Copies of this chain bind each other. A is one copy, B any other.
Amino acid sequence: MSAPVGTKTDKEIGVAVLGLGNVGSEVVRIIDDSAADLCARVGAPLVVRGIGVRRIADDRGVPTELLTDNIEGLVSREDVDIVVEVMGPVEPARKAILSALEQGKSVVTANKALMAVAAGEIASAAESANVDLYFEAAVAGAIPVIRPLTQSLAGDSVLRVAGIVNGTTNYILSEMGSTGADYAGALADASALGYAEADPTADVEGYDAAAKAAILASIAFHTRVTADDVYREGMTKVSAADFASARALGCTIKLLAICERLTDKTGQQSVSARVYPALVPLDHPLASVNGAFNAVVVEAEAAGRLMFYGQGAGGSPTASAVLGDLVMAARNRVSGGRGPRDSNYAKLPIAPIGVIPTRYYVNMNVADRPGVLAAVAAEFSQHEVSIAEVRQEGMVDEGGQRCGARIVVVTHQATDAALSETVAALSDLEVVQSINSVLRMEGTTE
């Protein structure tokens, strides 16, 4: 550390770092390496008072005397002004953050899981203590999203936020799209390259993206949305055949987090937050976001469509976002001010998935005989789901014999409820052998 440990002048800003993983190590390294620059930007030196860890050892790459496993003791230190929480998961982070806030410390956190379940409780604690609470790193790593939404668009009206906010699944889907690999093969590649965890459930089942969707929806619409409010479908069932069909339709497939403000016929507003794999037209800006990159598209009334793109994960990018928050919180400590506070004044109800209108792609195997297409089309029509495009192709077995047909239907906008009923009715049709997949199509509104 560049500044002596434990000393305090009136001008130093004392920092407690909770967690010393990829992100925490980078945060501590940058505070040390960029001490002079950070001091100039803050107006006072940033000094790490201690680092909270589960295991104290002398091989952690930082002075051992900074390490402590007494988190509560660390955040309570009088010479700590700001607590940086990069340890996850929800507990013990929640307890440590609430304790820090109650004791008047400002808090910077990268903990998306926590902010997605307990933002209300934590924001209230920050409000009561009149201190800063920043969490830019919780969504899309280094990509500034929270600050543009809360500040740059503070005078505008956000209509919709749609993003690729999980690098693991985007890597897998990009691989499937470019190589024709199936899900299992692309997941194995991602694991081998370190892009997927040993247990990829949180990523591939959309839990991580849903946490981020909850945070994005909350700040975009000035309301409170928690992870449980987010409709969620994973991407493990997306097949190589879906990618082939998508390509024929001029699309690719992405796992999207979508937050939308809806207004019904009576003028009543509600908010929808949802995560699912969806077909995206190739000319949509999100279609060309590949590999482990993230991007968030924001549509606002006056600003129009904005896109933010960059690295959504990794130690360095996430540390960059944490450091930005830390410098802002520290500046406020120096100037006696406080950053923008939580404003969830809108208190919008959550729209159930059933009422959400989107377009759908349905891929099914059918009997290869006259009248089948008509029967299939009739089911859509009976449920008032309008068809935009149909593709039918014969299938051949390994011996080269015709063995049925595949029908791909793309609908105009319909509600989820109408489509679910259509799909149920289709599977009861004698001529339909199997419904292979049902995916939504986003990025077009016809």
Interface residues of A (CB under 8 A from B): 26, 30, 34, 37-38, 40-41, 136, 142-144, 147-148, 151-157, 222, 285, 288, 300-311, 316-317, 319-328, 331-332, 335-341, 343, 345-346
Contact = CB atoms under 8 A, between A and B. Distances in A.
Contacts of A41: 154-155, 222, 343, 345
Contacts of A321: 152, 303
Given A285-B309, A317-B302, A320-B156, A147 B151 contact: yes
Of A156, A302, A321, chain B has the most CB atoms within 10 Å of the CB of A302
Contact of A153 (B148, B151, B308, B320): B320
B324 A156 contact: yes
A108 to B, nearest CB: 10
Contacts of A319: 302
A281 to B, nearest CB: 14
Contact of A142 (B303, B309, B331, B345): B303
Given A37-B157, A157-B37, A222-B40, A337 B332 contact: yes
Nearest to A34: B157
A361 to B, nearest CB: 25
Contacts of A341: 335
A303 B311 contact: yes
B142 A144 contact: no
Contact of A155 (B222, B306, B326): B326
A10 B437 CA distance: 61
Contacts of A310: 303-307
Nearest to A319: B302
A327 B155 contact: yes
Given A41-B343, A152-B321, 6 more contacts: A41-B154, A142-B303, A144-B152, A285-B309, A303-B316, A304-B311
Contacts of A326: 155
8 contacts: A41-B155, A144-B148, A144-B152, A147-B152, A155-B322, A306-B309, A332-B337, A337-B339
Nearest to A302: B320
Contact of A320 (B40, B155, B316, B325): B155
Contacts of A311: 303-306
A396 to B, nearest CB: 37
B144 A302 contact: no
A324 B144 contact: no
Contacts of A30: 155-156, 302
A322 to B, nearest CB: 7
Contacts of A309: 285, 306-309
A345 B338 CA distance: 23
Nearest to A38: B155
Contact of A304 (B285, B317, B335): B317
Contact of A154 (B153, B302, B324, B345): B324
A288 B283 CA distance: 10
A30 B308 CA distance: 24
Contacts of A154: 41, 323-324, 327-328, 331
A59 B37 CA distance: 52
A272 B310 CA distance: 24
A315 to B, nearest CB: 9
Nearest to A306: B310
A155 B323 contact: yes
Contacts of A307: 307-310
Contacts of A285: 309
Given A152-B321, A320-B155, A328 B340 contact: yes
Contacts of A320: 153, 155-156, 300-303
A180 to B, nearest CB: 21
A321 B303 CA distance: 8
Contacts of A300: 142, 320
A189 to B, nearest CB: 22
Nearest to A332: B337
In the complex, the 7 A-B pairs of residues with the closest C-beta atoms, listed nearest first? A155-B323, A337-B337, A142-B303, A144-B152, A154-B327, A302-B320, A306-B310
A228 B70 CA distance: 56
Of A34, A155, A304, A326, chain B has the most CB atoms within 10 Å of the CB of A155
Nearest to A40: B345
